[in-house]
Amino acid sequence: MQFPSPPVTSAPDEARANTGIIALCMVITVIEGFNMIVYGSVVPLLLTDTTLHVTDEQTGLIGGFLYIGAILGSVVSPALAERIGRKRVLILAVGLFAFGALLTGISVSAMMLGIARFVTGFGVGGSLTTAMTVARNCAPSRRASLVVTITMAGIPLGGVIASLVAIPVLPAFGWRAMFFIGGGTALAILTAVAVMTIPANTPQELAGRQWSSRRKLTTLFGGKGALIAAVIALCAIANMVAWQGLNVWATQAMVARGYSLGTALLFTFTLTGAAVAGSFLSAWAADRRGCALVAVLTAACTLAGLLGMLALPPSIVTTTSCIALMGIGGHSTMNLIHTTTADIYPLPVRATALGWSNGTSFIGAFLGPVIGGAAVASGGAQGLFTAFGAAAAICLVAVFVLYLTDRASNSKAADAISDGSPAGEPSVGVKAST
């Protein structure tokens, strides 16, 4: 099928404009990461706040509310973007999670705190899915996977910033100040989002307009596509149970092991800092060896780190090493699941497929803090690492199956999975060029 050609523009001007848009998308994900991961840094103070009166289980559940909102935001945003445009969706989503962060800072009850985190999550889910799609659409085809991975690296980078800011801010100003900082920063970036121009006629946008929503869903979930979608969901859910559960509970687990709050925050910094380094390292490796294969290796890193926390004698060196492995593996695996998903599905379905991988990842991100809260309440830090170790093991097996699926789609690129795909159009499992 031939799609209309986009308006002709100067290549250098277009490249500069697209680089600026990709950079802005990464800044958005940095702020998202701050507002998502900051919650884990303040958990020890929430548990001692006499205004809130929250238990371990309630704290985990409240942490999970953000991801319920994110599930809805990631599912709604692709369809809404088709109607009003991705720029308007970004403005609405960034504004929403800024409001949610500020509301979190003034919360005076567990219920209000939960509602505020849900609102934050709805905005984060919408802006993350949209920013990732915009960044990939603006990238050259040969660098698309690298751009997605670098854009997603903004999330742990935001977590690193949250950990560093928390060290001086929490003792001096308390936990509420962290959310005021996060919300204020999000409001500040709204101006840049409002003035940016997102290309509306990229090949991805043009291809997406040719297919109805029903056809996209049929391609995504019909025939063997449904099996691939299920594998992607299992990968995303299992990985995020461990990764986001660690983001929320790592600080408290280290305090429970006898470390001071300051030292525990440094361990959290190691977790998110390793995630940033791992994102760039895995992007470099994926460009050369393939996203799915590298995802198997990063998933193994997560499992190795968690097993090390359970089996090795506790010390600063072993704990730091294990936490670094978890950081490298947890976030990088999710990045690579997203990029593999975008590669497997045909061009017109790509945004919908990314919405699926994002949405299911947020299911795991909701379950992680809840499971972590129950594990800490029943078994302390050891219970926490045991529960997340089981999730990491499931993730490793599922990612290996995804790797086999991706390899099969490479070797049988002409074999259409979706019976409804017209001749000449890519179908699920076919590597369509961008």
pLDDT of the chain, 434 residues: tens digit per residue: 333 334 444 444 445 557 888 889 999 999 999 998 889 889 889 988 888 888 888 888 888 898 889 889 988 888 888 788 888 999 999 999 999 999 999 999 999 999 999 999 999 999 988 888 888 778 776 777 678 777 888 888 898 899 889 989 999 999 999 999 999 999 998 888 888 877 665 655 555 556 656 666 676 677 777 888 899 999 999 999 999 899 888 888 888 888 888 888 889 889 988 988 898 898 888 878 888 899 999 999 999 999 999 999 888 899 999 999 999 999 899 989 988 887 777 777 777 777 788 888 888 988 998 899 889 888 888 999 999 999 999 999 999 999 988 777 665 543 444 444 444 444 555 454 44
276 with 157: CB under 8 angstroms? yes
Structure tokens at 155: 């999330």
Contact (CB, 8 A) for 99 and 72? no
Residue-range domain boundaries for the chain: 11-411
| Euclidean distance between CA atoms 330 and 272, whole angstroms | 10
**Distance separating the N- and C-terminal Cα atoms of the chain:** 14
Give 199-203 contacts, CB < 8 A, sequence gap 24+: 199/6, 199/14, 199/17, 199/18, 199/21, 199/137, 199/138, 200/85, 201/4, 201/6, 201/7, 202/6, 202/137, 202/138, 203/3, 203/6, 203/347, 203/434
The CATH number of 11-411 is 1.20.1250.20
